[in-house]
Every structure is written in structure tokens, then in C-alpha cells.
Structure 1
Amino acid sequence: MALRSVFDASQIRTEFENAGINSHFIPLIWKYVIQNPNCEWDEVPSLPSSAYPLLRSKFKPSTSTVHSVIDSSDEVTTKLLIKLQNGAFVEAVIMRYDTRLGKYGGQPRSGGLRSTLCISSQVGCKMGCKFCATGSMGFKNNLSSGEIVEQLVHASHLSQIRNVVFMGMGEPLNNYTALVEAIRVMTGSPFRLSLKRITVSTVGIIHAIKKLQNDIPNLNLAVSLHAPVQDIRCQIMPAARAFPLERLMDTLREYQKNSQQKIFIEYIMLDGVNDEEQHAHQLGKLLETFEVVVNLIPFNPIGTLSHFSTSSEQKVTKFQKILRGTYSIRTTIRKQMGQDISGACGQLVVNQSDKRSTGSAGLLTDIEDLSL
């Protein structure tokens, strides 16, 4: 039987409880492994003697390895190709920001350098969105909570990660149990990430959104809406048939009522499909009673996998002006990062035939800051 990741929290807690070992040693083990990624279990100091044989027989410090690291010419984006224990690959993307650049509320911004990590939750994806390269892979398998956390561990050796976005490969809410467990590990010792700095993106899995509000209150939610009416949504997002737009909006309204937080709306701009002025007005009317931030995303080419075209800059700007001016909806345009390393939104796909990366997930701005 394959050894489990030591960051699979429920597994190691269960094993420690069964062996009568206090679980307060677990964060100490994690901290040592983060600082000493190639360690042997006997090197971890100050554990009960019974912990060492248990760790050797059941767990590995890391079940995944960094296969390659590729830096973008933009000098702020880095893509990690990570090989899992089963031989599959996923990608994670580090995006670095200087928060002192630009203004917020008309005033100079405080802060400094920091990094956001875009994390994968599955190998492949079941959703089949026609504008996203990941969907062309189909679904391979879910990641364990430990494999999700290990992406953060690997990235932390390259940059100090302050924010995490689940916008990489896969639909996070289709791997719900592992997702929730991974977030709880990330917000606990020794990682101690703030929940305000973690965002989960979903195409709109209604039952899971309802459950998420109870399981992890105050988590940032991003919804991949991409169309203001159900028929267009179904054309470009086949999975939307299972999540009717009216029901989804009712669910988001309840989520917002309970959480009192802004919801991020992701909207990819597809020329002639969902980017006309009428679509902007439809979207504005759909969202005008919500507290949202709409993120307009220029479509990224994905080779022969799609027949879509990128909306013109003029169309995107006009779309933004309608949402802002007519409906007073806060709207941003995503500045793409890492396109030259296929590290931009929607380009994430791993070619399993030659085990080489041909894409990854990318992001524009530090999304959690938009909730302020």
C-alpha cells in the first residue's frame, strides 16, 4: 500500500489517536518537514518513541515532487509542474505582487511584496467548459488533502505565500472533503493563512456552496458565471445544465445573506458569444441586488481546443463601463500574467502522453484585496 502524505490531516490524526499519541505533535512535524523537505523521520526531534515507527510505516514527508519550475518573462509569474505519487501531474502558479503600486480608494496603497498561489484540486476536470483547456483532459482523479497542501509547501520554498486561490486544475467543490480539510490545515499551525486570503472558485455546485457556508464560514467565494442567461451558459459550460441559473442565484443570495461578504464573479470574455452590450445589461440586472466584484477575463487562446476568439479591448472596456456606470457594480479587467509559459487563466492542461506541461492556471490581480 502506498504511503500517505503526512499533510493528510485526517489520516495522521486517526493514526496518532489509535496509537495513543497526542495530536499536538502533528503541527510540529509539519513545521519540521516544511523547513527540512528531504528529511528522514528519525531526524524529527522531540517526538514520542512510538511516533517514529508509525511515521515510517504509514507516511511520507512529501508524496509529490517538483518536476520543473518555469519563470515567465514578466518576472512575476512562476509555474510549478508537480508530479504526484501516482505518476500524474498537476500545476500550481505563483503570482507576485507589489501592493504599493497603484491606489485604493484614491489613496496610495500600503503594504509591500507578497505572493498568491493558484492551486489545483483535481487532475483534469469533469465540467467540460469549452473555453478551458483543462476540460479537454477529462477527469483523471481527485487530489488528497495532503497533495493539495503539498503544493503550498513546494511553493513556499520559492516565495512567501500570503494568498491562496483554488483556481487551478479541477472543480474544487467536486473534491469537497479534501478541499475543506486542506483549507483547515492551511489556516492552522504552522501555516496560519488567513481565511480572508483564501478564495475558492466554482462553476456553481449548488449543494456544495450551501454546505461550504456552514463548514468554513468567511471563506471567499468566486463563481465562474461567464454568461448572464442560462442558454448561453449551457452552450459554453455543459455542466451548467445541472445548476440552473435561477437556482444558483438564489443559493448565492442566501450565501451572501449569511456570510455578509462580497462574492467574486468570474466572467470570461468571448467574442460574439457573451460580450455584447445587451449581455452587459443582462449581467448588470442579474447582479444589481448583490454585493459582488465582477472580474472580466480576456479569453486565452488554447490552440486547437476551442473555436472561440478573444474580445476586443474596446468591447471589454465598454462592458466594464456599462456594469460600473449603469448598475454601480464594481468591475475589474484581469491583467493576464504568465501567458508566455501557458500560465494564464484557462490554459491549464497537462499532456499525459509525454508527461510535459502545456499550460497552467493564472490570475490577474490579488483577488482577495478586492473584497475590502
Structure 2
Amino acid sequence: MSVASGRPPVRMAVRSVFDAGALRSEFESAGISTKFLPLIWRHALDNPNCDLEDVPSLPSAAYPLLRDKFRTMTSSVASAVDSADGTTTKLLVRLQNGSYIEAVIMRYDTRLGKYDGKPRPGGLRSTLCVSSQVGCKMGCKFCATGTMGFKSNLSSGEIVEQLVHALRLSNIRNIVFMGMGEPLNNYSAVVEAVKVVTGSPFQLSPKRITISTVGIIHAINKFLGDLPNVNLAVSLHAPDQETRCQIMPAARAFPISRLLDSLQVYQKTCGQKIFIEYIMLDGVNDQEQHAHQLGNVLEPLKVVVNLIPFNPVGGGTSSHYKATPSQTVLSFQKILRGVYNIRTTVRQQMGQDISGACGQLVVNLPLRRPLGLTTLLPDIEDLRI
């Protein structure tokens, strides 16, 4: 007991072995080569919840360091909930501090997509939607996560551990940072996590990783230098600043004119397409004039617009919104394609029955795991390329 306070001493949290920066720093301080890091990660990946002292072929000084300061996994899967059609699994992940986050596995058949008008080669594979924060401070009025408020940032290891958990259930090929939180508000941890999963032993392609942001301009300006070849998606959701601020209060700090200027600079530097996320809200941002406004502001850019059907998220301010009728969505898409020659897709509805669809991630589900018939869909990422 602490003599001064009479309370038991606070136990410091251990770090995830997948926290690359922390592990690298400890090894360097101890004079241990960092070339052993991928070997440790491979052993942890192949032997879930193993004792780190069982990792073979490490210098002797590495073992007490790993034992005292790191764990193979600092999080656990509290529940895994499957959609009725079996295409989507939502993972409720418990962090070591007792908080919960959610990650979503989405299963696709790449052969159902099109490339240059022809069926794509390939087969079955999965995309993982990961969280970067507990809650979110952006407060978008159509999003359930925003109702939680901001709780904390995830460490890079806690982000990577979502992939480790998911790999036990599915072969993950793509990762999208579209779960709980604003990724660019946790910039350093997200960058470090991406570097881990694109290196050994995970070896995911940077071109199959997409990071979505509401438009944190200063972070977008750094994005390309830190994460070359990683895809950038921008949650625009309105073609003008006034409408955008009504549904996305945080947009006041990122004026649409300045945001579009930064995207032009980004694209001139890298030449990559930018993905524009646009949620369809009945009577708010889905009329013909909105389509023309959107087409005009995006004309200077090479983009793919992803129209997202609104998903119900219960009470609160989001209950004021309704989903745009499907015919109106198609008309909106037709204007962008036909008048402005902007490639435009409509996001497939996946996981809505388990609150795992876009905008629905909020910690509120019990443990259950019903499996239904699987009807695989084409992935939006296959349609975009």
C-alpha cells in the first residue's frame, strides 16, 4: 500500500507486442537488434496467447524484457455476431482498460465485381473494418458512434490486434479504417499500425488499405509522405459548407473550399484516385441540385464517389433522418455519371441486421452467433479500381 494515500499502487498497463514503436524503443535501449521484431510477431500470430518466453531464437536479454513489459494480446473478443446471410461478422473487442470497440469482417466474392467491363479474376476473400478510437469526437449527426462521444485513442498495437482477432475467423485481404473514431485524429498510431500490417509477417498490400477521414486538412497534407500507396477516402456527405456543417458539426473547422484545395495538392503529388464517401439523407443532400453541386466541386479531381444508403441508428439526432428512396439514389448516381463523368457506386448494404453497417457502430450488442446462408456480394473496392 501507498503510505501517503493508503490506496494500493496503480498497476501500469502492459503494452501489446504489436505496439511496434514501444517494442522497437525497448529493444534499442537494451542493445537488441530490431530485426527480431517480425519473428516475434510471426510467433504471436501463429500461437495466439502464447507465452512470449516461448518465442524461439531470440537473444537472452529479450526474454525478461518481453515478460515484464509486453503481452501477446492485450485485448479479447467479447462477442462475435454474424449477420443472417453470413456475409458479415461484428466483433466486440474488450481492451485491457475495460473499454470496448467494434470491428467488422465483410466477406465478398471478387468474381462478382467488374474490371474494365469484364469479370474480375479471384474468389472469396474478406475486408476488415477497424476502429481507431473508443468513440469519436466528430459528432456527425447521422452516425451512432458519435453518440458515444470521444473516450480515448487506441494504441497502434490495439489497432493491429483487431486484425489478429479477425484472421482467426477469415482470410483478410483488405483493411478499411472506417470503424469507430476519426483515424487522422489518432494519426501516429494509425500510421504505425499500417506500417506493421504492410510488413512481415502480415504482408498486406498498401493498395488494399483505405483510411477514411472527415477531412482533417493538416493530416491529409502529411498523409502521402507517411503512407504512400495507401488509399484516402474523404467523408464529404454534402456539396456545400452550410449543409455539411448541419450534419457534420466538425466540418466548421475544415471549410470545404480549403479541403478541396488540399485534395488537389494531394492528387497532383501522388496521382492516386480519391474515394469520396457520401451518405444519402432523404431531403437533406440527395436532390438533383445537390448532385449537380457535387459534380461541379469534384470536377477538378479524379475521384470515385461512393453513395451510402443511410442506416437507422436508433434514437438521438440521427432519428430525424430517413433513408433516400432507391430510385432517388439511382437518379443522383446517373447525374454524376452521365453529366460529370464521375465514377459513382452505391455501397452494398451489409450487416445492417447486426448494427454492423456504415454509421451503426456503437457498443450495444449481447453475445450471440447465429449463422445463416451465405450470399456473397461484390466488394465496393473491387468496383472502384
Partner of residue 230 from structure 1, selected from 237, 241, 246: 241
Q: Distance in 1 between matches of 2:132 and 2:292?
A: 34
Q: Match of 2:145, SS?
A: helix
* Superposed displacement of residue 75, structure 1: 1.3
Contact 1:202-1:222 within 8 A present in 2 as well: yes
**Residue in 2 aligned with 1:300?**
311
Instruction: Quote the offset at 1:106 in angstroms.
Output: 2.1
Query: Where in structure 2 are the equivalents of 1:110-259 lying within 5 Å?
Result: 110-259=121-270
Work out whether residues 310 and 324 of structure 2, in 8 Å CA contact, stay in contact via their aligned partners in 1.
yes
- Percent identity between the aligned chains? 72
Note if contact 1:270-1:308 (Cα within 8 Å) is conserved in structure 2: yes
The TM-score normalised by the length of structure 1 is 0.96
- Render the CA deviation track for 1:335-365: whole Å, top value 9, x for unaligned: 11011111100001114xxx8589xxxxx85
Question: Which one of the candidate residues 93, 96, 116 is aligned to 1:105?
Answer: 116
SS at match of 1:24: helix
Displacement of 1:21 in angstroms is 1.0
The aligned counterpart of 2:6 is none
Tell me the secondary structure at the aligned position of residue 343 of structure 1.
coil
TM-fit CA distance, 1:218: 1.7
Amino acid in structure 1 at the alignment position of 2:285: N
Which residue pairs with 2:39 in the alignment?
A: 28
CA deviation string 1:36-83 (max 9, x = no partner) = 012112221111111111101000001000111111112111111100
The answer as to whether partners of 1:300 and 1:344 remain within 8 angstroms in 2 is yes
Give aligned pairs, total.
Answer: 364
**Whole-Å separation in 2 of the counterparts to 1:203 and 1:194:** 24
TM-aligned CA deviation for residue 219 of structure 1: 1.3
Deviation at 1:217, TM superposition (A): 1.6
TM-score, reference length from structure 2: 0.92
Q: Give the CA deviation at 1:158.
A: 0.7
- Computed over aligned residues only, the root mean square deviation of the Cα atoms, in angstroms, reads 1.4
- What is the match of residue 361 of structure 1? none
Q: Report the 3-state secondary structure (helix = DSSP H, G, I; strand = E; otherwise coil) of the residue aligned with 2:49.
A: coil
Structure 2 distance, partners of 1:116, 1:123, is 21
Alpha carbons 2:292, 2:336 under 8 Å: kept: yes
- Counterpart residue number, 2:372: none
Q: Secondary structure, in 3 states, of the residue corresponding to 2:315?
A: helix
Conserved 8 A contact 1:199-1:368: no
1:270 aligned to which of 272, 281, 284: 281
* Structure 1 counterpart of 2:292: 281
Give the superposition deviation at 1:371: 4.7
Separation of aligned partners in 1, 2:336 and 2:367: 37
Q: Which stretches in structure 2 are left out of the alignment for 5+ residues? A: 1-11, 369-376
What's the secondary structure of 1:350's corresponding residue? coil
Contact in 1 for aligned 2:336/2:342 (Cα 8 Å): yes
Alignment-mate amino acid for residue 129 of structure 2 = C
**What does residue 331 of structure 1 align with?**
344
1:145–1:179 Cα contact (<8 Å) kept: yes
Structure 1: unaligned runs, 5 residues or longer: 359-363
In 2: Cα distance, 1:367 partner to 1:18 partner: 45
CA distance in 1, matches of 2:283, 2:275: 24
Letter in 2 for 1:143: L
2:330 alignment partner, SS class: helix
Conserved 8 A contact 1:220-1:368:
no
* Helix, strand or coil at the partner of 1:163: strand
The alpha carbon displacement at 1:104 in A equals 2.5
Q: Deviations over 1:108-131 (max 9, x none)?
A: 211111110000000000000000
Q: Quick check: 2:110–2:378 contact (8 Å CA) kept in 1? A: no
Whose relative contact order is higher, 1 or 2, with alpha carbons under 8 Å and at least 6 apart? 2
Amino acid at match of 1:28: L
Q: C-alpha distance in 1, partners of 2:109/2:206? A: 21
- Runs of 4 or more off by more than 6 Å in structure 1? none
Question: What residue is the counterpart of 2:363 in the other structure?
Answer: 350
